A and B are shown apart, each in its own frame.
Chain A
């Protein structure tokens, strides 16, 4: 590849098993810093699994085994000497369904900050800047102490993005962040993701080809646990290199 910008996330011959079932087969992938990379592929091909390997959140299950390496900003995430808490501070994650915590809007936003012993004085400024970055400040500035669960789904998902920002992550993982939203909400959140590019490296899983095309600069196509193709989004949709990619893009898989 001619592009010389360094990799923010790097998979090296990475495989993953759920019990005895192998879900990821020797993936090599370098995600470019500061860009939006979308991951597409048919249902069950391992997009979520690969994404969830970056912050090791998969391992909550207890029966997950991995081989190979994942490096985040040069640090091997699976090496014993690297702290998982530090990794998760640098890598924020947005889930498919907005999962705001049963706390106030303020406490949701500052949750991560407080976990990592951030100072009390900075709180108000962080709160405002995080909410402004996700274009939510004007909507909620008068009800910061109300429960976050009272917000609309679109606002909740924006809040889920906003609560990552106070701990200053470098990478944002997003697993189908718009799939629970209506078209208007989808558009708003997509626009927001587009706004965040450059400031953060974003890995975006999506089922929606149009979304991948609109909202990403790089595109990764996966099939049955393997990485098939990784190129610039424009190129992937105009002249895919692999026949499988072409088939998928033209709608020949589910």
Chain B
């Protein structure tokens, strides 16, 4: 601060000046707190989980399908079956969600007009807002008997059931993001192609889809991340039994569902507790990487 005397005529520290300062400080705090929270969560999970180091046997954890942390005689922490459970459910979900959501996005962005388009967009957004426990409920009470009847299997809580449910859950978000990606393609491309005699579908296939492919990939990745991290619906619809699935009708257990179901019953600081946090670290890392990849891809679009 210099010691010059403030000239009241040009001293602009009035109400507007102070409120501007106050708001910038508040906004800064808001912005920084999001980052602090993420770092805080990461530190917390890591600290709770890293105590597991002394029980950590990589060969057992990544090589065994036996997840038996509560066994008195021989506690084992093999996560292979859980990883397989999550992967099979997410994989099936994507198999269902990707064609559906890309199809829906293409229809809404390129073919539907006026009111149809607006109604569809609202409907898709409403679907995205359905809580996951409701989806789980549908899996439990509607899909389960349906699968038992249709395929004549003893139990309908399985990879097929939870994959379908998860696919339907992920599809609306993927549709919305994919539609945004298609919208971002400049209209002058469509006009140019149409003037050259391209039909609607030719315009879509030869110009719009290639131009939007990064955004579409980002949409798919975010859907994968969503599927990966989903807990409640999978817990309810997958059967929650530890299994290396060999058919869509096998019950499985997912990583997320394991944490949700078991964490409440463990003693804080016990090896079981720490093992669950280790699963948390794994989930955190994978979803972080998926989101990062999606983000980098989207950034790539903006630049080029």
List chain A positions with a Cβ less than 8 A from chain B: 55, 57, 60, 62, 84-86, 88-89, 92-93, 95, 97, 99-103, 111-112, 115-116, 160, 163-164, 167
- Decide yes or no whether B197 CB sits under 8 A from chain A: yes
Contact residue among A99, A103, A111, A167 (Cβ-Cβ distance under 8 Å from B188)? A99
Chain A residues whose C-beta falls within 8 Å of the C-beta of B114 in the assembled complex: 62
Chain B residues whose C-beta falls within 8 Å of the C-beta of A92 in the assembled complex: 195-196
Residues facing A in B170-203 (CB within 8 A) are 186, 188-199, 202
In the assembled complex, 5 residue pairs joining A and B whose CB atoms fall closer than 8 Å, in A order, are A60-B190, A85-B197, A95-B188, A103-B210, A163-B196
CB distance from B205 to the nearest CB of A (A): 11
- Decide yes or no whether B263 CB sits under 8 A from chain A: no
**A63–B242 alpha-carbon span in the complex (Å):** 59
- Decide yes or no whether B211 CB sits under 8 A from chain A: yes
Cβ contact within 8 Å between A101 and B197: no
Cβ contact within 8 Å between A89 and B193: no
Chain A residues whose C-beta falls within 8 Å of the C-beta of B198 in the assembled complex: 115
Cβ contact within 8 Å between B191 and A99: yes
Chain B residues whose C-beta falls within 8 Å of the C-beta of A60 in the assembled complex: 190-191, 194
**A71–B190 alpha-carbon span in the complex (Å):** 25
**A86–B192 alpha-carbon span in the complex (Å):** 16
Chain A residues whose C-beta falls within 8 Å of the C-beta of B192 in the assembled complex: 95, 99-101, 160
Contact of A112 with B188 at beta-carbon distance under 8 Å, contacts A62-B113, A101-B207, A102-B211 already known: no
Chain B residues whose C-beta falls within 8 Å of the C-beta of A112 in the assembled complex: 196-197
Instruction: Please give 17 more A-B residue pairs, beta carbons under 8 A apart, in addition to A62-B113, A95-B188.
Output: A55-B195, A62-B114, A85-B197, A89-B197, A93-B195, A99-B191, A99-B192, A100-B192, A101-B189, A102-B210, A102-B211, A103-B210, A111-B196, A115-B196, A115-B202, A163-B196, A164-B196
CB distance from A110 to the nearest CB of B (A): 11
Chain B residues whose C-beta falls within 8 Å of the C-beta of A163 in the assembled complex: 196
**A85–B195 alpha-carbon span in the complex (Å):** 9
Q: Interface size bucket, B side?
A: 20 to 34
Chain B residues whose C-beta falls within 8 Å of the C-beta of A89 in the assembled complex: 197
Chain A residues whose C-beta falls within 8 Å of the C-beta of B190 in the assembled complex: 60
**A254–B16 alpha-carbon span in the complex (Å):** 44
- Decide yes or no whether B55 CB sits under 8 A from chain A: no
**A60–B193 alpha-carbon span in the complex (Å):** 12
Most chain B beta-carbon contacts within 10 A, residue among A93, A102, A163: A102
Cβ contact within 8 Å between A102 and B197: no
Contact of A57 with B197 at beta-carbon distance under 8 Å, contacts A95-B188, A102-B211 already known: no
Contact of A167 with B197 at beta-carbon distance under 8 Å, contacts A62-B113, A62-B114, A102-B211 already known: yes
**A99–B196 alpha-carbon span in the complex (Å):** 12
Chain A residues whose C-beta falls within 8 Å of the C-beta of B191 in the assembled complex: 57, 60, 95, 99
CB distance from B125 to the nearest CB of A (A): 24
CB distance from B236 to the nearest CB of A (A): 45
CB distance from B144 to the nearest CB of A (A): 46
Contact of A57 with B195 at beta-carbon distance under 8 Å, contacts A111-B206, A115-B202 already known: yes
Chain B residues whose C-beta falls within 8 Å of the C-beta of A88 in the assembled complex: 194-197
CB distance from B220 to the nearest CB of A (A): 20
Closest to B192 in A: A99
**A97–B188 alpha-carbon span in the complex (Å):** 9
Chain A residues whose C-beta falls within 8 Å of the C-beta of B194 in the assembled complex: 57, 60, 88
**A112–B189 alpha-carbon span in the complex (Å):** 13
Cβ contact within 8 Å between B193 and A111: yes
Chain A residues whose C-beta falls within 8 Å of the C-beta of B199 in the assembled complex: 85
Residues facing A in B187-239 (CB within 8 A) are 188-199, 202, 206-207, 210-211
**A52–B195 alpha-carbon span in the complex (Å):** 10
Chain A residues whose C-beta falls within 8 Å of the C-beta of B207 in the assembled complex: 101-102
**A92–B206 alpha-carbon span in the complex (Å):** 19
Cβ contact within 8 Å between A99 and B189: yes
**A84–B186 alpha-carbon span in the complex (Å):** 23
Chain B residues whose C-beta falls within 8 Å of the C-beta of A62 in the assembled complex: 113-114
CB distance from B35 to the nearest CB of A (A): 35
**A97–B189 alpha-carbon span in the complex (Å):** 11
CB distance from A195 to the nearest CB of B (A): 22
Closest to A62 in B: B113
Closest to A63 in B: B114
